[in-house]
Structure 1
Amino acid sequence: MTTHVSPSRPSRSAYARWAGRAVVLTGAPALALLSAPASADVPAGWGEQTEHQGLDALHTLGLFLGAPLLLVVLIAVAVYLPAMIRGDKLLPDHSAGEAQWIGGPRQGVAELPAPDGADSRAGGASGSW
């Protein structure tokens, strides 16, 4: 079975691509024109205010230091409170723990072959000075 392709007639996907490009190119300027500032009058009583009210030092410290610290404390409480209620340990236990040999014999050193003599290399690592 042979399918003939006609190069003179563009496919529907070419029309869809052309239409999509046209929408994008005309839509961007239209959105820019729609986002122009509104020409509204200032409400009565707002126009006479020439004095800007600023924050004093205490309010500034409360805003820029107190609010983030409060947020950190709230997050820490949200993380640690459920574990504290369950009675979990929150800090790792660094007391003398059992030594681990990852990838070693399951029964410990009892499975290792004993050295045959003074020249034997069985039994683990060795070193000399």
Structure 2
Amino acid sequence: MTTHVSPSRSSRSTRVRRTGRATALAAGAALALLAAPAHADVPEGWGGQTEHSGLDVLHALGIFVGAPLLLFALIALAVYLPAMVRGEKLLPDHSAGEAQWIGGPRQGVAELPAPDGADSRAGGASGRW
């Protein structure tokens, strides 16, 4: 089966595409012209200021070191305070718990077959040199 494309439909879509491109370019140019800087007077106190106000060392340390440390302490307090009020343990318990054998027998090593003889491979891993 052969489908013929009518030339009028093809030229119409070409015209639409060209019109869209021209509109996009014109809109871009118009936005660039509208984005020109505003012509306003400088507010009082801003113009002619040649003296730079600097930070002293203590003030700079307070801003760049003290403020982040204070924020860190507030976040830590917000995280740990509810648990401390409830009386929960905050540190992990490192006592020796019972051993786990994932995927092993349910009764532990008692379920494993004992070795039948010296050549038997039952009973676990072994190595020879």
- Is the TM-score greater than 0.5? yes
| RMSD value, Cα | 2.9
Query: Which runs of no fewer than 5 residues in structure 2 stay unpaired?
Result: none
**What pairs with 1:1-129 in structure 2 (closer than 5 Å)?**
4-8=3-7, 9-10=9-10, 18=18, 20-129=20-129
Matching residue's letter, 1:113: P
Give the Cα separation in 1 of the matches to 2:17 and 2:50: 54
Q: Residue 18 of structure 1: CA displacement?
A: 4.9
The alignment of Structure 1 onto Structure 2 pairs a total of residues equal to 128
Give the Cα separation in 2 of the matches to 1:64 and 1:52: 20
Label 1:57 to 1:7 Cα distance change in 2 as closer, same or farther (>3 A): farther
Matching residue's letter, 1:73: A
Identity of aligned residues (%): 74
Give the Cα separation in 2 of the matches to 1:10 and 1:75: 64
Label 1:45 to 1:68 Cα distance change in 2 as closer, same or farther (>3 A): closer
Give the Cα separation in 2 of the matches to 1:19 and 1:79: 59
Matching residue's letter, 1:108: G
Give the Cα separation in 2 of the matches to 1:94 and 1:38: 67
Q: Residue 68 of structure 1: CA displacement?
A: 1.6
Select between 91-100 and 8-17 the one with higher mean Cα deviation. 8-17
Give the Cα separation in 2 of the matches to 1:89 and 1:15: 73
Select between 60-69 and 77-86 the one with higher mean Cα deviation. 77-86
Query: Which runs of no fewer than 5 residues in structure 1 stay unpaired?
Result: none
Q: Residue 14 of structure 1: CA displacement?
A: 6.3
Q: Residue 29 of structure 1: CA displacement?
A: 3.2
Q: Residue 57 of structure 1: CA displacement?
A: 0.9
